[in-house]
A and B are shown apart, each in its own frame.
Chain A
């Protein structure tokens, strides 16, 4: 990509992104193209990270392990749902992922947890997400009992309107009361340590960057 085009892209993305400055956007764009590889841009072909490549990043860089959550995170980034994360989706997604406000993060997380996208986190969805969260005890008659109970506990805590499922309003209220519930059904945000490491690595001082 030529310098002029890159400049233009950086400018437009910087304008739409409040959490990164121009330099940081540039770094992220560079990283994106490094990750995508040297694909020549052609008309009609989408340049972007596919599901596997993105999951790989989530796993390697941010230490995520849960397949389903990683898929959901991919869907969260992939706004147009075309199976690829483009450069703008990348920058925008990372701005929430790394530096989003509580409001942005709540929206993002809720979308991740709302598996079927109907605007509610249902009991079934919760069960699905929590099913591997407990050590299975072989002694128990119903190995899923613990999970079911955990779902009930979560509902009791978060379902304020008692309709048996979580609306965004329920979720938002619960998170505002207790921030720990932001990632109630699985880690979908980077933990602070890997976030710091990632930022340190990507947003290197420009001079230092040049030297390397």
Chain B
């Protein structure tokens, strides 16, 4: 372009024009106007006289108004530009706001961006593309701030963010002018990092291109005064003796350490290194002061990572051995704050931290301290409390859970659970609750009689404590014995009464979770009914967060396994909200809702309502859900619906493409889906017309293909489906052709009675075809049927009258068709 040369001050204008305050000249070709030749000067931007004939020179004279920046000028000159810019308006304004304090720079930077574009194509006539390139760079440049505001797409933005960063580096080097932007950009980026904290590698990556903190000193314009004060204090920490250090630490502690500016300031001036170094000295007071600060600033996720990167955790773990209780407490509390991500959990464990933290829980330990309390000393209970806090943080990792157990943490936690101090109980119960996700913990919790205390604390005044207790019960109640224990210890009543307390959603989610798991036991459902829990649960079906809904619906699903529960739900108007929830998207919720609706559909009266609400159609459409567990749950729920609906056949046919959908689900590779779909097909096939349709859709070969399974649940439902499908046309022969018979005979070797029954039934149906009988005979079906201990015992136990007659009839049928004497049945009875 015009004068190519860039002067050391960053200007591209010739020296004699620089005196006038001019910086550079830009050619812009808007979409809808002539090429504009623009001068950028300290006063603003304006149109100049344009290129002279000389090509190398321009007419420097001003030919128009001075605008405050390039954008304003271009908006004035080009309608198209103005239109496009207004689309970017929101974002642009934001940036403008931030740049307000450096009015000179904003235009300059934009000009630089545009200039880049124009240089790329200098000489050649400027085309539309370049202009848009310039613009896209400009919008890109705005991104860091966008990233800062919006929390989404952190990962996606990352690459462009870095690109932008690189560009900025390049741009700055080229211009080599003192700039406030690196500091600011860094501050912004740091906030962005915070958002990305969860994506673990991203933060370490972005730390790589972190500029050295020295850069920040250039950016004094927009740094808060705290920053400078903190920097000074860190200097005293570095260069002071114990006395100066303690004074500096105390003074630093007076800053608002909850504020991110201060937290990051400490880090950026190298304070973290110093604070961690202090932990390695022998000075108790310095250690205490340092930990007090670290404890506060480690609430910041970035600082946590920095502390771990600087190796702070091993040092703190070592302090846990200190004879000073308050030091131990502070170290444990800081660990509790820092250990919030995987790398930290591992660091604590690898350095023996879990064992030491567990040791803190033991308050009976004879203390090595002199009898009288020292100056900085804390109570014994305090040590245990801080230990529990740290364990709570660490117990989110499975390996740590195991380490806590091995270090003997469970009995200690159980002992602490007997206190009445709420601040102690919360971390203790929370740790137990985290750990209760592990099988061996649940066993230990049962053995240590922990449930009793959890139940007791459900009646505490403290909401958080109630929440954790309910969560712990929820976790442990996977186990049947524990469910009984909760009932025996009187835990069901407080749980039921907490259901009516809906203001605290976290607690409500925990309580409904506990109710759900407990209601898996029938005796508990009876109790819940007595405490009017079902009514309360129905009330929770609307206007609640998803976590609560999932649990409440899950609980209703269990309660509705009993006729009384179903009646209550129907009478309380629970069916409408349940059916409404069928249109949701939450996977766990859908699984539970379908189960609950299915359970209700068992009752014909409820079924009428569900049908009326179009619930069956909704269930059917859930068969298209991408998640297999939702599919399976929906298919199971459809079974009672089809059984109990009036004109079920007609209803099923009314779903366009519904039957084809069901048949095609037989191609799934999920056993549960297959079993549920087989069950649904059994019910669908009760209607002759539908059976005809699914036969046309090829149900026979698909079912036959499944016959080779080892899964008893699938075997049973498959056999039932096969025997149903035999009722149509030449399906029996078709099953034989598709080699379904031989594997069915093998099913007889299963130990599951229901598989036997279903299989015998299917074989009975299949045996009406002579070829199938031959296959059965070849595979020794008769022998197996006769020797099968299950069949024999069924035959012999007169108590199971129904089964007996069933099997008799079945066997009879089989034997008739295989042309064996019927007297064999009597032989079989022996």
Known pairs A187-B242, A191-B284; A181 contacts B250 (CB<8 A): yes
Would you call B244 and A150 a contact (CB within 8 A)?
yes
How many Å from the CB of A201 to the closest CB on chain B?
Answer: 14
Check A212 for interface membership: any CB of B closer than 8 A.
Answer: no
Would you call B232 and A149 a contact (CB within 8 A)?
yes
Interface positions, chain A 156-212, Cβ under 8 Å from B, are: 156-157, 178-187, 191-193, 196, 199
- 27 A-B pairs with C-beta separation under 8 A: A102-B375, A129-B243, A132-B241, A133-B243, A134-B236, A134-B239, A134-B240, A135-B240, A146-B236, A150-B244, A150-B247, A150-B248, A154-B247, A157-B250, A178-B250, A179-B375, A179-B376, A180-B289, A181-B250, A183-B285, A184-B243, A184-B246, A186-B243, A187-B243, A192-B284, A192-B324, A199-B370
Check A137 for interface membership: any CB of B closer than 8 A.
Answer: yes
Q: Mark B230-260, 1 if CB is under 8 A from A, else 0.
A: 0011011011111110111111011000000
New A-B pairs, 16, CB < 8 Å, besides A130-B243, A150-B247, A181-B247: A19-B372, A102-B375, A129-B243, A133-B244, A134-B241, A135-B239, A137-B239, A146-B235, A146-B239, A150-B236, A153-B251, A157-B254, A180-B246, A181-B250, A187-B242, A199-B370
From B242, which residue of chain A is reached at the shortest CB distance? A187
Would you call B247 and A184 a contact (CB within 8 A)?
yes
Check B729 for interface membership: any CB of A closer than 8 A.
Answer: no
Check B780 for interface membership: any CB of A closer than 8 A.
Answer: no
The 8 closest A-B pairs by CB, nearest first: A135-B239, A133-B244, A153-B251, A133-B243, A133-B241, A186-B243, A134-B240, A180-B285
Check A128 for interface membership: any CB of B closer than 8 A.
Answer: no
Would you call B370 and A196 a contact (CB within 8 A)?
yes
Interface positions, chain B 311-332, Cβ under 8 Å from A, are: 323-324
Would you call B324 and A153 a contact (CB within 8 A)?
no
Count how many pairs of residues, one from A and one from B, have CB atoms less than 8 Å apart in the complex: 76
In the bound assembly, the distance between CA atoms of A90 and B36 in angstroms comes to 93
From A99, which residue of chain B is reached at the shortest CB distance? B372
Would you call B247 and A153 a contact (CB within 8 A)?
yes
Report, as a range, how many residues of chain B touch the other chain. Answer: 20 to 34
Check B374 for interface membership: any CB of A closer than 8 A.
Answer: yes
Check B288 for interface membership: any CB of A closer than 8 A.
Answer: yes
Interface positions, chain A 76-102, Cβ under 8 Å from B, are: 99, 102
Residues of chain B within 8 A of A123, CB atoms compared? none
In the bound assembly, the distance between CA atoms of A191 and B281 in angstroms comes to 13
In the bound assembly, the distance between CA atoms of A196 and B324 in angstroms comes to 12
Interface centre among B243, B288, B289, B370 (most CB of A within 10 A): B243
Residues of chain B within 8 A of A146, CB atoms compared? 235-236, 239
The interface on chain A, measured as residues whose beta carbon lies within 8 A of the other chain's beta carbons, has a size of: 33
In the bound assembly, the distance between CA atoms of A154 and B288 in angstroms comes to 18
From A65, which residue of chain B is reached at the shortest CB distance? B241
In the bound assembly, the distance between CA atoms of A210 and B630 in angstroms comes to 83
How many Å from the CB of B263 to the closest CB on chain A?
Answer: 20
Interface centre among A130, A150, A183, A184 (most CB of B within 10 A): A150
How many Å from the CB of A164 to the closest CB on chain B?
Answer: 17
Known pairs A134-B236, A135-B240, A187-B243; A157 contacts B251 (CB<8 A): yes
Would you call A130 and B250 a contact (CB within 8 A)?
no
Residues of chain A within 8 A of B233, CB atoms compared? 153
Chain A interface main SS type = helix
In the bound assembly, the distance between CA atoms of A163 and B118 in angstroms comes to 65
- Please pick, from A19, A133, A179, A187, the residue contacting B240 in the complex, using a CB distance under 8 A: A133
Residues of chain A within 8 A of B249, CB atoms compared? 180
Residues of chain B within 8 A of A130, CB atoms compared? 243-244, 247
Chain B interface main SS type = helix
In the bound assembly, the distance between CA atoms of A178 and B236 in angstroms comes to 19
Would you call B250 and A180 a contact (CB within 8 A)?
yes
Residues of chain A within 8 A of B241, CB atoms compared? 132-134
From A186, which residue of chain B is reached at the shortest CB distance? B243
Check A148 for interface membership: any CB of B closer than 8 A.
Answer: no
Residues of chain B within 8 A of A178, CB atoms compared? 250, 253
- Please pick, from B232, B243, B282, the residue contacting A185 in the complex, using a CB distance under 8 A: B243
In the bound assembly, the distance between CA atoms of A139 and B284 in angstroms comes to 32
Check A22 for interface membership: any CB of B closer than 8 A.
Answer: no
How many Å from the CB of A151 to the closest CB on chain B?
Answer: 9
How many Å from the CB of A130 to the closest CB on chain B?
Answer: 7
Residues of chain A within 8 A of B232, CB atoms compared? 149
Check A105 for interface membership: any CB of B closer than 8 A.
Answer: yes
How many Å from the CB of A139 to the closest CB on chain B?
Answer: 12
Q: Mark B245-281, 1 if CB is under 8 A from A, else 0.
A: 0111111011000000000000000000000000000
Interface positions, chain B 426-458, Cβ under 8 Å from A, are: none
Q: Mark B372-391, 1 if CB is under 8 A from A, else 0.
A: 10111000000000000000
In the bound assembly, the distance between CA atoms of A186 and B245 in angstroms comes to 11
Q: Mark A85-128, 1 if CB is under 8 A from B, else 0.
A: 00000000000000100100100000000000000000000000
Interface centre among B233, B238, B244, B254 (most CB of A within 10 A): B244
How many Å from the CB of A9 to the closest CB on chain B?
Answer: 24
From B254, which residue of chain A is reached at the shortest CB distance? A157
Would you call A180 and B244 a contact (CB within 8 A)?
no
In the bound assembly, the distance between CA atoms of A59 and B249 in angstroms comes to 26
From B252, which residue of chain A is reached at the shortest CB distance? A153
Residues of chain A within 8 A of B235, CB atoms compared? 146
From B246, which residue of chain A is reached at the shortest CB distance? A180
From B247, which residue of chain A is reached at the shortest CB distance? A154
Residues of chain B within 8 A of A134, CB atoms compared? 236, 239-241, 244
How many Å from the CB of A127 to the closest CB on chain B?
Answer: 12
From A105, which residue of chain B is reached at the shortest CB distance? B375
Would you call A181 and B375 a contact (CB within 8 A)?
no
From A136, which residue of chain B is reached at the shortest CB distance? B239
In the bound assembly, the distance between CA atoms of A180 and B290 in angstroms comes to 11
Residues of chain B within 8 A of A192, CB atoms compared? 284, 323-324, 374
Residues of chain B within 8 A of A183, CB atoms compared? 243, 246, 285
How many Å from the CB of B236 to the closest CB on chain A?
Answer: 6
In the bound assembly, the distance between CA atoms of A178 and B288 in angstroms comes to 11
Residues of chain B within 8 A of A150, CB atoms compared? 236, 240, 244, 247-248
Interface positions, chain A 12-68, Cβ under 8 Å from B, are: 19
In the bound assembly, the distance between CA atoms of A149 and B323 in angstroms comes to 35
Q: Mark B205-242, 1 if CB is under 8 A from A, else 0.
A: 00000000000000000000000000011011011111
Residues of chain A within 8 A of B288, CB atoms compared? 180
How many Å from the CB of B233 to the closest CB on chain A?
Answer: 8
Would you call B370 and A182 a contact (CB within 8 A)?
no
In the bound assembly, the distance between CA atoms of A105 and B373 in angstroms comes to 14
Residues of chain A within 8 A of B376, CB atoms compared? 179-180
In the bound assembly, the distance between CA atoms of A134 and B247 in angstroms comes to 12
Q: Mark B734-752, 1 if CB is under 8 A from A, else 0.
A: 0000000000000000000
Residues of chain B within 8 A of A179, CB atoms compared? 375-376
How many Å from the CB of A181 to the closest CB on chain B?
Answer: 6
How many Å from the CB of B646 to the closest CB on chain A?
Answer: 78
In the bound assembly, the distance between CA atoms of A68 and B238 in angstroms comes to 24
How many Å from the CB of A23 to the closest CB on chain B?
Answer: 14
Residues of chain A within 8 A of B247, CB atoms compared? 130, 150, 153-154, 157, 181, 184
Residues of chain A within 8 A of B240, CB atoms compared? 133-135, 150
In the bound assembly, the distance between CA atoms of A186 and B243 in angstroms comes to 5
How many Å from the CB of B91 to the closest CB on chain A?
Answer: 43
From A129, which residue of chain B is reached at the shortest CB distance? B243
Residues of chain A within 8 A of B246, CB atoms compared? 180-181, 183-184
Interface positions, chain B 509-558, Cβ under 8 Å from A, are: none
In the bound assembly, the distance between CA atoms of A192 and B377 in angstroms comes to 12
Residues of chain B within 8 A of A19, CB atoms compared? 372
How many Å from the CB of B9 to the closest CB on chain A?
Answer: 29
How many Å from the CB of B284 to the closest CB on chain A?
Answer: 6
Known pairs A156-B251, A199-B370; A182 contacts B375 (CB<8 A): yes
Residues of chain B within 8 A of A133, CB atoms compared? 240-241, 243-244
Residues of chain A within 8 A of B282, CB atoms compared? 193
Interface centre among B236, B282, B288 (most CB of A within 10 A): B236
In the bound assembly, the distance between CA atoms of A105 and B254 in angstroms comes to 24
How many Å from the CB of A200 to the closest CB on chain B?
Answer: 10
In the bound assembly, the distance between CA atoms of A135 and B245 in angstroms comes to 11
